[in-house]
Amino acid sequence: MTRRLWSDFVSELEPYVPGEQPRVDNLVKLNTNENPYGPSPRVAEAIKAELGDELRLYPPPNADALKQAIADYHGVDIRQVFVGNGSDEVLAHAFNGLFRHGKPLLFPDITYSFYPVYCGLYEIEERRIPLTDSFEIAVDDYLVPNGGIIFPNPNAPTGRLLSLDRIASLLRRNPDSVVCVDEAYIDFGGDSAIALVNEFDNLLVIQTLSKSRSLAGLRLGFAIGHPELIEALERIKNSFNSYPVSRLAIAGGVAAFADEAYFRQTCDTVIASRVALVEALEKLGFEVIPSAANFALARHPDYSGEYLMAALRERKIIVRHFHAARIEQFLRITVGTPQQITLLLAALEEIIA
């Protein structure tokens, strides 16, 4: 019925399917790469201080206080910073404003599954470049005509990191394309390509406060790049929604960047837990892809990913499984607290005993 009221375009869209957020007590939730620790206590304080009559007013449309905090933190000019309602929104604007050139957008065959969705939404031709057999991005494979290049670093859901040297080489050899590095997980063990933005005017780096700063629920993401790339994103944003970042989000985001000690401590804890998790999985016979993120992609030689996921779910532990070529056998496991990891390992031990 309703379908007849839809445009052909909306009927043919293939929307993204997010990892589930079940409301089950005592669930060990290791499926969407959220931080197992809460945000800095200063975030809640800042948000509370913002709760009042001012909420009747629209927020500052350019979120300048947050942009300035990000610019100061990363040592760039405020004109090099764009902020949005989660990095998914920032990514969407990048696709819309920077990748619609009538040539294919290049991204890895195994990558963030929102990229093909945005290609569908913005009618961008895509070309998937296979990762190597060891799931690495080979930048030499990206020297084909393109309307842009995008990949996460570390890649998701593999966790593999690409070095800044390789990224610089890719940028140098694709001077006429925007190269977008989606650094959702960079704080868990990689060097940010923000170090390259003053050298390459075709580089756009996107980060989020959802993972390393424990603020997935507040919805904040940002991009850093040449002021002209940022201006393109602003033009899209101001043609779509003038106020994507709320007063509460601006206050919380500024507070998050002000608490460096808390940030470092949670990242270090997650990294140490990842190392322990990988070691323990390998002891159980899993093959684990080397990860620089807050998750690990792992497979067991004797049990399918689908079977293990279902067996874990029966034990109130949820992880992510992808019905996708080359990674069908794998599970993507978010790094939880040491206690959650202990529960996961005990369950796996029981399942594969």
Ligand X SMILES: *Cc1c(COP(=O)(O)O)cnc(C)c1O
Instruction: For residues 293 and 250, give the distance between their C-alpha atoms in angstroms, rounded to a whole number.
Output: 26
87 vs 348 by CB, closer to ligand X: 87
Per-residue contact flags (x/-) with ligand X for residues 13 to 42, judged by CB under 6 A:
--------------------x---------
Under rule CB under 6 A, residue 221 binds ligand X: yes
Per DSSP bridges, beta strands 126-129 and 287-288 are unpaired
152 binds ligand X (CB under 6 A): yes
By beta-carbon proximity to ligand X, the closer residue of 47 and 156 is: 156
Using CB under 6 A, pick the residue from 40, 208, 246, 273 that binds ligand X.
Answer: 208
> Is 252 one of the binding residues for ligand X (CB under 6 A)?
no
Which residues 276-315 are close enough to bind ligand X by CB under 6 A? none
Counting every residue, how long is the chain? 353
182 near ligand X (CB under 6 A): yes
Q: Give the x/- contact pattern for ligand X in 41-80, rule: CB under 6 A.
A: ----------------------------------------
ω into residue 154 within 30 of 0, thus cis? Answer: yes
Identify each DSSP E strand in 7-74 by its residue range: 28-29
If the CB atoms of residues 118 and 200 are measured against ligand X, the closer one turns out to be 118
- CB closer to ligand X out of 182 and 187: 182
State which residue, 87 or 214, has the beta carbon closest to ligand X. 87
The answer to whether residue 112 forms part of the interface with ligand X (CB under 6 A) is yes
Q: Is 184 in the site for ligand X (CB under 6 A)?
A: yes
How is 173-209 classified by DSSP, letter by letter? H-TTS-EEEE-TTGGGT---GGGGTTT-TTEEEEEES
Q: Distance between CA atoms of 66 and 254, rounded to whole angstroms?
A: 5
Least Å from the CB of residue 216 to ligand X: 5
Among positions 156, 203, 292, 333, the unique one binding ligand X when judged by CB under 6 A: 156
- How many residues interact with ligand X (rule CB under 6 A)? 13
- Closest contact distance (angstroms) between CB of 73 and ligand X is 17
CB of 218 to ligand X, least distance (A): 9
Q: Cβ distance 316 to 307 under 8 Å?
A: no
**218 counts as binding ligand X under rule CB under 6 A:** no
The number of angstroms, rounded, from the C-alpha of 292 to the middle of its chain's C-alpha atoms is: 13
DSSP assignment letter at 4: G
Chain center to CA of 193: 15
Q: What is the identity of the amino acid at 139? A: V
Range list of β-strands (E), the chain? 28-29, 81-84, 105-108, 126-129, 148-152, 179-182, 203-208, 221-225, 287-288, 295-299, 317-318, 331-334
Q: Which of 87, 212, 246, 266 binds ligand X (CB under 6 A)?
A: 87
Rg (CA), the chain: 20
Q: Does 333 bind ligand X (CB under 6 A)?
A: no
Which positions lie near ligand X, rule CB under 6 A? 33, 86-88, 112, 152, 156, 182, 184, 208, 210, 216, 221
